[in-house]
Amino acid sequence: MPARLVVSLSGLTDARPDALATARTLAADLDARGVPLTQLVQPASPAGPPSAELLDWIRERGDAIALHGYDHTPDPALRGGVGRKGEFSALPRHEAGLRLVAARRALTGLGLATDVFAAPRWLVSPGTIDAVRDQGFRVCLDEAGAHLFDDAVFLRARALGFRLQETLEGAARTRAESWRRRVLRTEALRVARRAGVVRIGVRAKDLRRPGRIATVLETVDAVLAEGAWPTTYAALPATPTTKSA
């Protein structure tokens, strides 16, 4: 089996209005390369549901969809701990199930549906994995890979993207940004050459940095040149004998 390439886009729900124009350009550039886009959709937020313009664009494109949490409330169960917090990073099975029900209902209200769950920040508790399986999702994505419930396997595939500390300033920020771009390309090529799954996650905030988008497209080109098969998260369990939709 050749390497597989999945590119996702998240964060448009809370993004600035001008982000959609850049997202359209990125999507068109991926289309030109034959690379499908997986849209990670957050169905609710403190600011309200996604805009009508965004929803119309998603529906018109017909991209693969993944449920990206509910409203991204950090640590909604108010548990302690250290490190980064994600909406589903610490929830037990029952509480995760309740939020999933709410998230799915909200997504359906937007006229969208999916059986793929992508944990916010790629952080997911063991209880959440159980709850996702309980509710009939086929795929649960976290930082380390994809839980493919139909096949009862965990596909190791680390999420790649730009996780730069926003507190950095000046020269330190510039050096860190340059390093992060090199790491993305290097890691993606390493995975592709080992016939693994290359997961490139683009966030709405990345769209504000032309250098990051250029790096994503350059990395996609390099991975495709290694023979990688472009696909979506929904199609990961399938053997890539034909192009995935």
Query: Of all residues in the chain, what percent carry a pLDDT higher than 90?
Result: 75
Lowest mean pLDDT among 99-103, 193-197, 225-229, 241-245: 241-245
pLDDT band at 243 (very low <50, low <70, confident <90, very high): very low
Any idea which of 78-82, 120-124, 189-193, 218-222 has the lowest mean pLDDT?
78-82
The superfamily CATH assigns to domain 4-235 is Glycoside hydrolase/deacetylase (3.20.20.370)
- Tell me what pLDDT residue 35 has: 98
Mean predicted confidence (pLDDT) in 175-188: 90
Note the pLDDT tens digit of each residue in 119-164. 999 999 999 999 999 999 999 999 999 999 999 999 999 999 997 5
User: What pLDDT is stored for residue 82 in this prediction?
Assistant: 40
132 neighbors 101 (Cβ within 8 angstroms): no
Write down the domain spans for the chain. Answer: 4-235
pTM given for the model: 0.89
DSSP string, 20-36: HHHHHHHHHHHHHTT--
Instruction: Say what the pLDDT of residue 120 is.
Output: 93
Distance of CA 42 to the CA centre of its chain: 11
Digit-coded pLDDT (tens) for 31-70 = 999 999 999 999 998 777 889 999 999 999 999 999 999 9
Give, in order, the Cα–Cα distances in Å from 218 to each of 66, 69, 200, 223: 25, 30, 12, 9
pLDDT at 71: 87
Give the C-alpha separation, 132 to 116, whole Å.
9
